[in-house]
Chain A
């Protein structure tokens, strides 16, 4: 175990609880509009496409491709200091949603545009499981 401090974590509240409850079960769920079927992220009360307030938290495939990325060399927060340099990616999921995350077990030079990735679930506290990614075929 490392001595580094824990990273700041999401505060779970009414808008985001379904996302984190699903993640803790190993599921990637996002809001999906009931009438027009559009997916959305971040959580919000209305569908930006049709303005409906009716939605469900639907299961996403967890598959997508790297849209853009950075390799962080620092400075960064103490919680991430011993991981430097590390990647952060924007994944364009198959559902059309952009999601900021990391690709685990992937050297910086292997990150590229359109790299196929699949979601994995990393518990970090009793309440919070973070959604990360691994390289996929």
Chain B
């Protein structure tokens, strides 16, 4: 039974960002504020109108940081989503839920990240950088079952998941390259993108192994930057500056997490978080995967895009590789045009939020790889985590 849920209640009315770069030399706090003020300006609202905040639980720029820097807006509702990238679409679900419930009218959703190569390799907790290099000597969490065995970070955990997908379905390096090259070609058109040099199949295959089967060009880039979105009621958004990107549907689903492989592998991946969120999503939206005009997968790794295609029903189980082959995900003629900004593989890694901003651009008709007559945009969070997804619609 399809629930109406948050269908159509709220819309993204404003988007804002900083520049994206391998090194900006700025604090996450400073970058967050630039992106937030840009998003308010884009929406045509005053920062003091913000009365709701949604962020990642792991976000370092917290509610107090923001209200004390934004002129003390009357924030009356705030929430976070757990599990990092798994929540990159869920934040919009949480924002829309607040609006539907009447708990807030103008909700700010944001993420700031200093993760570029020179931003934080030191041990200092405020320098950003790679979380896994800052692991404590005594592990109380579930990473105690991975890290002491030499499985120290997400990309190595994804390698384990990706290898299994190859073993079961025959997915290949060429399939991975099809994803990486399509998204790189999108990035070349996008002035915001960090990685804009052309990539050939040979370049992909020659990039160094990081954790087999993943190569450097299968991994997201590490960058500095921030993103912000303003979510408000669809009714109000119609009166603001830009055409609203209506949240036609949005769902979340709890399930496995990549840091907990023993339980992840005990579950069929076509019945894990992403697949469950997807089934609810298309029911709420009252549409089907072939109706989607442009899709944004959480492209932390090429292989996980292929698995996401399967989990969300854009192709059958094990068919992600062949679906992506021969420009299957590429603008302008792909079977399913994906990540038109270049994604996190080539534009920037703002923990998924940069993909959401690009989805809004597609709905507005302002992408540098604009899909013709784009009406429905699909956005998914990290598909190895408790996750969520949304469908944005041109009003």
Point out residues on A near B: beta carbons under 8 Å: 6-11, 13, 16, 41-42, 67-77, 80, 83, 85-86, 88, 90, 92, 97-102, 108, 113, 124, 128, 130, 132
Whether a CB of chain A sits under 8 angstroms from the CB of B211 is yes
Is A88 a contact of B149 with CB atoms below 8 Å?
Answer: yes
15 pairs, CB–CB < 8 Å, chain A vs chain B: A8-B135, A8-B139, A9-B137, A11-B138, A11-B144, A69-B160, A70-B214, A80-B150, A88-B156, A90-B261, A98-B266, A100-B160, A102-B149, A130-B148, A130-B149
Stretch at the interface among B2-10, B107-115, B161-169, B328-336: B161-169
Complex-state Cα separation, A41 to B156, whole angstroms: 21
Is B136 a contact of A100 with CB atoms below 8 Å?
Answer: no
Is B211 a contact of A8 with CB atoms below 8 Å?
Answer: no
A76 contact set on B, CB distance < 8 A: 150, 152-153, 156
Is B149 a contact of A101 with CB atoms below 8 Å?
Answer: yes
Complex-state Cα separation, A124 to B150, whole angstroms: 13
Question: Which of A68, A86, A102 interacts with B160 by CB under 8 Å?
Answer: A68
Complex-state Cα separation, A74 to B133, whole angstroms: 12
Is B150 a contact of A88 with CB atoms below 8 Å?
Answer: yes
Complex-state Cα separation, A98 to B148, whole angstroms: 16
Point out residues on B near A: beta carbons under 8 Å: 132-133, 135-140, 142, 144-153, 156, 159-161, 163-164, 167, 208-214, 260-263, 265-266
Given A67-B164, A73-B212: A8 in contact with B150 (beta carbons within 8 A): no
- The minimal Cβ–Cβ distance linking A94 to chain B, given in whole angstroms, is 15
| Cross-chain pair count, CB within 8 angstroms | 117
Is A100 a contact of B152 with CB atoms below 8 Å?
Answer: no
- The minimal Cβ–Cβ distance linking A28 to chain B, given in whole angstroms, is 13
Complex-state Cα separation, A74 to B208, whole angstroms: 10
Is B147 a contact of A7 with CB atoms below 8 Å?
Answer: yes
- The minimal Cβ–Cβ distance linking B141 to chain A, given in whole angstroms, is 9
List the B residue with the shortest CB-CB distance to A72: B211
Complex-state Cα separation, A72 to B156, whole angstroms: 7
B265 contact set on A, CB distance < 8 A: 67-68, 90, 92, 98
A67 contact set on B, CB distance < 8 A: 164, 265
- The minimal Cβ–Cβ distance linking B44 to chain A, given in whole angstroms, is 44
A41 contact set on B, CB distance < 8 A: 262
Q: Which 8 residue pairs are nearest across A and B when measured between Cβ atoms? A: A70-B159, A10-B144, A68-B164, A11-B138, A71-B212, A11-B140, A98-B262, A73-B209
A77 contact set on B, CB distance < 8 A: 132-133, 135, 147, 152
Given A68-B167, A74-B210: A88 in contact with B138 (beta carbons within 8 A): no
Given A10-B139, A90-B261: A70 in contact with B144 (beta carbons within 8 A): no
B214 contact set on A, CB distance < 8 A: 70
Given A11-B139, A11-B144, A83-B150: A42 in contact with B160 (beta carbons within 8 A): no
List the A residue with the shortest CB-CB distance to B260: A42
List the B residue with the shortest CB-CB distance to A15: B140
- The minimal Cβ–Cβ distance linking A112 to chain B, given in whole angstroms, is 9
Complex-state Cα separation, A11 to B147, whole angstroms: 12
Given A68-B265, A70-B211, A98-B261: A90 in contact with B160 (beta carbons within 8 A): yes
List the A residue with the shortest CB-CB distance to B152: A77
A13 contact set on B, CB distance < 8 A: 140
List the A residue with the shortest CB-CB distance to B138: A11
- The minimal Cβ–Cβ distance linking A91 to chain B, given in whole angstroms, is 10
A6 contact set on B, CB distance < 8 A: 137
Question: Which of B148, B160, B260 interacts with A124 by CB under 8 Å?
Answer: B148
Is A8 a contact of B164 with CB atoms below 8 Å?
Answer: no
- The minimal Cβ–Cβ distance linking B381 to chain A, given in whole angstroms, is 23
List the B residue with the shortest CB-CB distance to A5: B137
List the B residue with the shortest CB-CB distance to A112: B167
- The minimal Cβ–Cβ distance linking B217 to chain A, given in whole angstroms, is 14
Complex-state Cα separation, A126 to B326, whole angstroms: 56
List the B residue with the shortest CB-CB distance to A113: B167
- The minimal Cβ–Cβ distance linking A93 to chain B, given in whole angstroms, is 10
- The minimal Cβ–Cβ distance linking A51 to chain B, given in whole angstroms, is 16
- The minimal Cβ–Cβ distance linking A48 to chain B, given in whole angstroms, is 9
List the A residue with the shortest CB-CB distance to B166: A68
Question: Which of A90, A99, A102, A108 interacts with B150 by CB under 8 Å?
Answer: A102
Complex-state Cα separation, A77 to B131, whole angstroms: 11
